[in-house]
Amino acid sequence: MKKRPRTTESHAFLVAVSAVILGLIGGAVLMASIGSNPFLGFYYLFRGGLMNIERIGNTLATATTLMLVGLSVAFAFKTGLFNIGASGQMLIGGLCATLVAHKVFLPRPLFLVVLIGSALIGGALWGVIPGFLKARFNVHEVVATIMMNWIAYWSIYYFVPAYLKGPSLETESASIAVSQSLRSPWLTKLFNGSYINYGFFIAIVAVVLIRFVLDKTTLGFGLKAVGSNRFCAEYAGIKVNRNVIISMMIAGSLAGLAGLSFYTGYSRNMQIGVLPAQGFDGIAVALLGASNPLGVFFSSLFFGILQSGKGFMNAMTSVPPEIADSIIAVIIYFTATSVLFQRLWDRLFKYRRSRRSGEKEE
């Protein structure tokens, strides 16, 4: 019995590696199909993400948002919920934080607490509504969160130009002053003027905290119990509905933090008419990381390299930057169809094991 989780974990790792390899092959095929050299393409893609301290900082800043969204999706997965609404939660969390950044003036440490708190609350609100609808009315959370995404999209489409308009463009909010953002002069200086910001530390703390909550607390046990078998959990006296609501609330607040890191740290303004793609990339991060906080950490770094290196690759070769998104999409498709590899690896291992046991018998 004790050995079981180990084999499933190694499975998850093998599946993840297989999916990544197939994703990279898919990317290579796409590059070759337009007459580019895939090896050169990948060389510049990874070089673009890692070649100097500034680019590493940018990669970490990109990974920060993906890490927080990935955690959000993974956390909901643990309770058996699919949070496809991270984009909307990011938008609302980011909007609350942007409002605070523009309108609230306090001493720096206190200001940061208010800023982070506002994003947490905004995201949590956007997550808790689908959670409540699921718990109380059994409305499928996938549909509810998709609806919430578009409600957020259109609300921001009209709210930002009306109340936060920038001086030049109608389609984006005014830029946040550095002193009112998540950026900090010493970090920017340390990484040679990159986009890295306090969001990275927030994400690290979130990874540790979520791992602790899931593995070491009663709350986490209850959430996971609901995820693995809600009827069994109910029979054991765990309040299923309450756990569903709490799970969506925490998932929403994590996505809200992702919005905070992106809109007040990375870009320092909000564009209208864009549903942040990170909300969906985060699903790939969570799947690739097997919904494990540590797995999310590493897979977000990997996707961070792809997303932040694509601009450099585009400048050096003729490969369009969408190659990164294509690779991520292929990876998510193959993690969804992981049964394929599981069967493959199972058959391989069984074959080897049976051969080994056969040798022993001789």
Number of chain positions touching other proteins (CB under 8 A) = 48
The radius of gyration computed from the CA coordinates of the chain, to the nearest angstrom, equals: 22
Contacts of other proteins in 34-53 (CB under 8 A) = 34
If one asks whether residue 86 binds other proteins (CB under 8 A), the answer comes out as no
- Decide: 175 and 161 in contact? Cβ < 8 Å: no
Q: How far is the CB of 91 from other proteins (least distance, A)?
A: 13
Secondary structure of residue 172 in the 3-state scheme: strand
If one asks whether residue 82 binds other proteins (CB under 8 A), the answer comes out as yes
Secondary structure of residue 165 in the 3-state scheme: strand
- Decide: 79 and 242 in contact? Cβ < 8 Å: no
Interface segment toward other proteins; rule CB under 8 A; list 98-106, 111-119, 223-231, 316-324 = 316-324
Q: Which is nearer to other proteins, 151 or 219 (CB)?
A: 151
Site map for other proteins, 333-352, x if CB under 8 A?
Answer: x-xxxxxx------------
If one asks whether residue 143 binds other proteins (CB under 8 A), the answer comes out as yes
Interface segment toward other proteins; rule CB under 8 A; list 95-103, 106-114, 151-159, 255-263 = 151-159
Q: Which of 16, 20, 22, 30 binds other proteins (CB under 8 A)?
A: 30
Q: How far is the CB of 311 from other proteins (least distance, A)?
A: 14
Q: 137-172 b/e with 16+ CB inside 10 Å = b?
A: eeeebeebbbbbbebbbeebeebbbeebeeeeeeeb
If one asks whether residue 144 binds other proteins (CB under 8 A), the answer comes out as yes
Q: Which is nearer to other proteins, 137 or 186 (CB)?
A: 137
If one asks whether residue 231 binds other proteins (CB under 8 A), the answer comes out as no
Q: Which is nearer to other proteins, 36 or 269 (CB)?
A: 36
Q: Which of 13, 32, 193, 322 binds other proteins (CB under 8 A)?
A: 322
If one asks whether residue 84 binds other proteins (CB under 8 A), the answer comes out as yes
d(CA 287, CA 265): 26
Within the chain, residue ranges assigned H as helices are: 4-33, 38-50, 53-78, 86-103, 108-137, 141-163, 185-190, 199-216, 218-228, 230-235, 240-261, 278-288, 293-316, 322-336, 339-361
Q: How far is the CB of 355 from other proteins (least distance, A)?
A: 28
- Decide: 147 and 260 in contact? Cβ < 8 Å: no
Q: What is the full DSSP assignment across 223-286?
A: HHHHHH-HHHHHHTT--HHHHHHHHHHHHHHHHHHHHHHIIIIISSS-BSS---THHHHHHHHH
Interface segment toward other proteins; rule CB under 8 A; list 116-124, 150-158, 165-173, 349-357 = 150-158
CB within 8 Å of 312: residues ≥ 6 apart: 44, 45, 47, 48, 49, 51, 55
Query: Which residues sit opposite 172 in a β-bridge?
Result: 271
Q: How far is the CB of 324 from other proteins (least distance, A)?
A: 8
Q: How far is the CB of 332 from other proteins (least distance, A)?
A: 4
Site residues for other proteins per CB under 8 A: 30, 34, 82, 84, 133, 137-140, 142-144, 146-151, 153-155, 157-159, 273, 275, 277, 280-281, 283-284, 287, 320, 322-323, 325-326, 328-330, 332-333, 335-340
